[in-house]
Amino acid sequence: MSEIRYYEEWAMNAWPCLQTRAVDGWLLRWADGYTKRANSVQPLYPAHLPLGQKIREAEAFYRRLELPVIFKMTEASEPAGLDAELENRGYALMEPVSIQTLRFGENGLPQPAHGEIELSPGLKEEWLSSFLAMSPSHAPHKETIRRLFAQPLSDCCFAALKVNGETAACGLSVLHGGEAGLFDIVTGPAYRRRGYGEALILHLLHWGRERGARGAFLQVLAENEPAVRLYAKLGFTERFRQWYRVKQEVRD
C-alpha cells in the first residue's frame, strides 16, 4: 500500500461521515454537507468501469443530496488521468492541503506554556459552542456535528484551552492506528499570535503520546502560512498534498 493511500484511509477512519457508497474503487462520502473531506468522492482504488460512467454516477449521487460534486484528489488518485479529466469537465481546483506528520521519538515533547486545559473523551455542549463561536461558518452544521460524534469509532479527545475562565482555543484529537490525528484546531480572534494555539496542540500531542501513539497527523490548508509555520516549529513535516476538484455548475 502506498503511503498516500495509507493516510487517506487513516483520515477516513478517523473522521466520520454519515453514509458511504462504494462505486468500483471510489468511495462516495456524505455528512450532510459538513466539511469537504466528509462530502466528497475518494478515488482510492483501481477500477474497471468506464471513467465517464463513474463520474456521472458520482454526480448523480451528490445532486440527489443537493450538494456540490467534489472529488478529493492526490497524486495516487485512481485512475491515472482523473484530475485532467475532471478539469476538462469543468471541475475547478480548490484548497490545496498539506498532509503533515510528526514522529514522537524518544526526546519527549515541550510542555505547554499557557492556559489551563480541559479534556473530554466526548463532545460536550460547551466545547461545541466555543468551536462554533470561533468558526461561525460551521454554525449551520451544529446538529450534524452532534450526530457525527455521538458514537465515535475511535478514541477521541476534545480539548479547550482556558484563559481566565474563557476558552482561548479548542481542538480535537482522534487516536487511530497508532497515530494521533489533529482536527478542527481553532483559536479565538482575541487570543491569536499569543501562543495559545501552540499550547493547545501540545496538550493534544501529549494526550496522544500518553495513550501509545507513535506520532501525529494533520491536514492544513497550504495557503494558511501562520498555521504552516507553527506546525513546522513543532516538528511536523509535509508528506504529500491533496486538493479538491469542485464541479462548476452552470446556472440559467
pLDDT of residue 252: 42
Of 63, 84, 64, 85, nearest in space to 249 by CA: 63
Beta bridge partners of 183: 172
**Which triple of cell numbers denotes residue 142?**
451544529
Q: pLDDT tens digit string along 101-141?
A: 999 987 678 899 888 999 999 999 999 999 999 999 999 99
Q: In what order do the strands lie in the sheet with 155-163?
A: 19-23, 26-30, 41-43, 70-73, 237-247, 91-103, 215-221, 179-187, 166-176, 155-163, 116-120
pLDDT of residue 241: 97
The enclosing H or E element of 32 equals none
Q: Which DSSP category does 162 fall into?
A: E
**Whole-structure pTM value:** 0.91
Average pLDDT for 187-216: 95
pLDDT of residue 152: 67
Position 35, amino acid: T
**CATH class given for the domain over 105-213:** alpha beta
User: For a pLDDT cut of 70, what percent of the chain falls above it?
Assistant: 97
pLDDT of residue 149: 86
Beta bridge partners of 215: 103, 179
Where are the chain's structural domains?
3-96+242-247, 105-213
Does 14 score more than 90 pLDDT? no
Residues 57-65: contacts with CB under 8 Å, at least 24 apart: 57/23, 58/23, 58/26, 58/28, 59/247, 61/21, 61/23, 61/28, 62/28, 62/30, 65/30
Q: Which DSSP category does 134 fall into?
A: H
- Output the CA torsion sign for 126, 218, 15, 244: positive
